[in-house]
A = this chain, B = another copy of it.
Amino acid sequence: MTNGLMMASQLTVTSILRHAQKFHPHAEIVSRLASNEIHRYTYADFGRRVHQLANALVDMGVRPGDRVATLAWNGYRHMEIYYAVSCLGAICHTINPRLFQEQLSYIANHAEDTHLFFDLHFAKLVEGLAGDLKTVRGYVALCEADELPDVELPNLTAYETLIADKSDRFDWPELDEWTASALCYTSGTTGNPKGVLYNHRSTVIHALSVSGGDWLAIRARDAILPVVPMFHANAWGIPYAGLMNGAKLVLPGHAMDGRSLAELVIGEGVTLMAGVPTVWLELLRHLRETGQRLDRVERMMVGGSAAPYAMIKAFEEDHDVRVVHGWGMTELSPVGTLGALKGNEVTLPAEERYKIQSLQGRPLYGVELRIVDAEGKALPHDGVSSGILQVRGPWVASGYYKGDAPEQFTEDGWFSTGDLAALDEEGHLRITDRTKDVIKSGGEWISSIDIENVAVGHPKVAEVACIAVPHSKWGERPMICVVPQDGEEVDPAEVLAMYDGKVAKWWIPDHVEVVESLPHTATGKLSKLTLRERFADFRLPTDQ
């Protein structure tokens, strides 16, 4: 082989920062503060403060490779930490404050964090946690000197005190692009949280790719509202892709209710927003109540869980906002697929388009997808065959921090996602289930999601969970737990009748259990694990 003669410029977070400072000094970062007030400054201001923070971090003894933790909402100080820590060669470790206390201390101890930066909202949480944190040497509250919270914490400083007298110049180290830049733990419903250790290269390539015309299509003239938190897989890369392209960033802080979001979206001229469906449903409800319109929003990214068809339709028809549905994972930095329409799809009747938009999208260049059966054999992309989804690419984890859960990484170099999915000929992804939730009946798979989607269509049903229950003949059979709408009574026979003609006969659940509520995890996901445990000894009527 012959090598080319092109520069070996490293793809680093530092290069994003430099580009932003040099060519977009007047671009804005707007943040909602803990006080609900709005803070605004420019990339130039941001850059100077990142330099100040870097000087402060060095003075605090933060060294390359150290993990510096955050427990914080989306805001300008959190952005400063993202950049200062990574550009130093240290590792910005964002922790999800919604986790249970024992998970939080497990994560901080596993990561061996040296410092913890936290929003005022989490002062009490951190105080309760501190006794369990074995490696944290210092705490920094993201506030002014006179806002320092009244909590007992060793080496507690206010962020503004920390950087106040520091120089706003800093000579960044010339980092290799493989250097670790950030750490984020993914908390499944089983086992301990596992750490994904991003590097500068993966972060930059991911940001470049999601900026593409079919994806976030970020332009300098955009104002982006990432409602998806910065502690959740880097807010889908927007803190990097936004600055890379000189866009205005609008950071909502803690206030994610419909009214607060509408105020920011309309007041700041947001053109692009990104978040999970529940947030948008809240926003929709608020807009309906007030009659407000999202005139400047062009597109919204929806991920985290499936976007309801009705929501896609409402945003498009009532607000002229194109909903782009996506699928990702912390292990994928996190974007894997996004729902950009192809040429022949754009002109479809609206109802058919919404169906395609309800799928999980198609892979960005860089994300290789394959679906395999239980023996690892590749399945066809026919839109029907459903198998274990595996992923490969420059922004996909090659392993978990400290070698946890090696079984999720195949010998031939793919990451096994734990999702079951089908792919059609055009690359559209349809997540059919989680591997641990699928029902294995007589050697065949039944999608718990497909089963739930039918029952949830019943007008008296509020929520549904489909789980596998042991069966002496079939191994497992599906049953569903159904929560009625407030004040309604649900007749199991009526629910079962809905399956006629909608799924294969042998997919129809063997039992409908009406329950008052369903168990959820700390991050709000349905905990089928808890449910399966509850029904582990249940004898199905078909298995007496």
Contact = CB atoms under 8 A, between A and B. Distances in A.
Interface of A: 1-9, 11, 15-16, 18-19, 22-27, 64-65, 89, 91, 175-176, 178-181, 196-202, 205, 208-209, 211-214, 216-223, 244-246, 248, 333, 340-346, 362-363, 365-366, 368, 381, 392-401, 413, 415, 425-427
Most chain B CB within a 10 A radius of its CB, from A212, A340, A393 = A212
Given A7-B415, A15-B368, 4 more contacts: A23-B362, A24-B427, A211-B213, A221-B343
A217 B6 CA distance: 25
B365 A4 contact: no
State the 5 A-B residue pairs at the shortest beta-carbon distance, nearest first: A4-B199, A23-B427, A213-B217, A6-B202, A2-B65
A214 B220 contact: yes
A44 to B, nearest CB: 10
Contacts of A208: 205, 208-209, 212, 365-366
Nearest to A209: B208
B220 A64 contact: no
A212 B218 contact: yes
B202 A365 contact: no
B179 A3 contact: yes
Given A343-B220, A427-B22, A4 B213 contact: no
25 contacts: A1-B64, A2-B64, A2-B179, A3-B178, A3-B179, A4-B179, A5-B196, A5-B397, A5-B399, A5-B400, A6-B333, A6-B396, A6-B397, A7-B392, A7-B413, A7-B415, A9-B396, A16-B365, A18-B368, A22-B427, A23-B426, A24-B426, A25-B426, A219-B340, A220-B343
B395 A6 contact: yes
A522 B200 CA distance: 44
B213 A7 contact: no
A413 to B, nearest CB: 7
A2 to B, nearest CB: 4
A343 B30 CA distance: 15
A425 B25 contact: yes
Contacts of A222: 213, 343
Nearest to A179: B1
A345 to B, nearest CB: 8
A178 to B, nearest CB: 5
B342 A246 contact: yes
A199 B3 contact: yes
B220 A342 contact: yes
B3 A180 contact: yes
Contacts of A221: 214, 340-343, 345-346
Nearest to A395: B6
Nearest to A269: B343
Contact of A181 (B4, B15, B345): B4
Contact of A394 (B7, B333, B342): B7
Contacts of A209: 208
A6 B198 contact: yes
Contacts of A176: 1
Contacts of A4: 178-181, 197-202
A459 to B, nearest CB: 37
Contact of A6 (B3, B22, B199, B368): B199
A411 to B, nearest CB: 14
Contacts of A197: 2, 4-6
Given A176-B1, A365-B208, A426-B24, A7 B397 contact: yes
Nearest to A195: B5
A18 B3 CA distance: 22
A220 to B, nearest CB: 5
A19 B370 CA distance: 12
A50 B393 CA distance: 23
A211 to B, nearest CB: 4
A22 B426 CA distance: 8
Contacts of A19: 363, 365-366, 368
B223 A6 contact: no
Most chain B CB within a 10 A radius of its CB, from A214, A400, A425 = A214
A200 B4 CA distance: 8
A409 to B, nearest CB: 9
A34 to B, nearest CB: 28
Given A64-B1, A176-B1, A245-B365, A426 B396 contact: no
Nearest to A206: B6
A73 to B, nearest CB: 25
Nearest to A202: B6
A455 to B, nearest CB: 33
A2 B397 CA distance: 15
Contact of A2 (B7, B91, B196, B344): B91
Nearest to A198: B4
Nearest to A393: B9
Contacts of A392: 7, 9
Contact of A398 (B5, B25, B415): B5
Nearest to A212: B211
Most chain B CB within a 10 A radius of its CB, from A175, A202, A213, A245 = A213
